Amino acid sequence: MRSGAATIPAGAKDPMSDDFSFDRFVQKSKVGAFGRDEGARYAYSADILMLRSFSRMKPVEYAAAALVRTSKEFLRGQLLGQGVKVGPKQFTRLHSIAEHCASVLHVPTPQLYVVNSPVVNAYTFGTDAESFIVLHSALVDHMSDKELEFVIGHETGHIQNKHVVYGTALQVLTRSAEAVIGIFVEPALVALRTWYRRAEITCDRAGLLCSQDLDAGVSSFMKLAIGSARLFAEMDVETYLEQLEENRGSDGRYLEAFSSHPYLPKRITALRVFAES
């Protein structure tokens, strides 16, 4: 069931970057992944290219930032009322993991909230100046500490790579589309979903760099896929990955274009390639 590669070296090399050094990255990565200082050298090249294109479209960038600033305060107030804030005196294990991931990726420790939800999920919300990570209670229940390192490291990667504003705009616009104005926001959603699928590959790498455990990354994906602790114990990773090849010949594979996340078998495969590079 396990992938057979328990740990990776801290200097794992990205095939997209010939001069990658993780030590060098840590020293120089105080900002994002696309030209503002050196940035995250592990980032997926397609993610960087799309972020650069967004940053050149200033009206889009300003509109997204304005939308997010307003929405952020509403969600933060909701989380303070309905969620539980993580800190040094509350859920100290989660807080310690967040501190570890922030240290590895050289960003300030993000604020975590836990919300009551049966869905195994986590997400990052906010602005470049103030970001917070939301963990669903089911995710915390399902994941080991190493898996939580991977998941929280993944979400911290969104912060380190300056994904948060556009990622939050995608969440807000998706909710708007589900309400009443879908036809008007759909062009923006298509572009943002295309980028976000690439951003997820970047942040899977961030999660791996934080956890230093490929098995934990793979098993966290499988738990996301099945959502059942009982059935997870019976899953076989190689059999599960056969679905990726089977789907290549299916017309249904095109539905991924309407998703904000790559299909999970594809993410596992991409993570293995990065770990072995």
Number of H helices, E strands in the chain: 12, 4
Could you tell me the sign of the dihedral formed by the alpha carbons of 59, 60, 63, 69, in that order?
negative
Catalytic site includes residue 155 = yes
Tell me which of 155, 200, 246, 276 is the catalytic residue.
Answer: 155
- Calculate the CA 87 to chain-centre distance: 21
Instruction: Tell how strand 111-115 and strand 131-136 pair up.
Output: parallel
Query: Which residue carries 């059999």 as its tokens?
Result: 239
Give the C-alpha separation, 152 to 206, whole Å: 9
DSSP state of 108: P
Could you tell me the sign of the dihedral formed by the alpha carbons of 266, 109, 36, 23, in that order?
negative
Sequence-distant (6+) residues with CB within 8 A of 191 are none
Q: Tokens standing for 198?
A: 């690439």
Give the C-alpha separation, 277 to 275, whole Å: 6
Catalytic site positions? 155
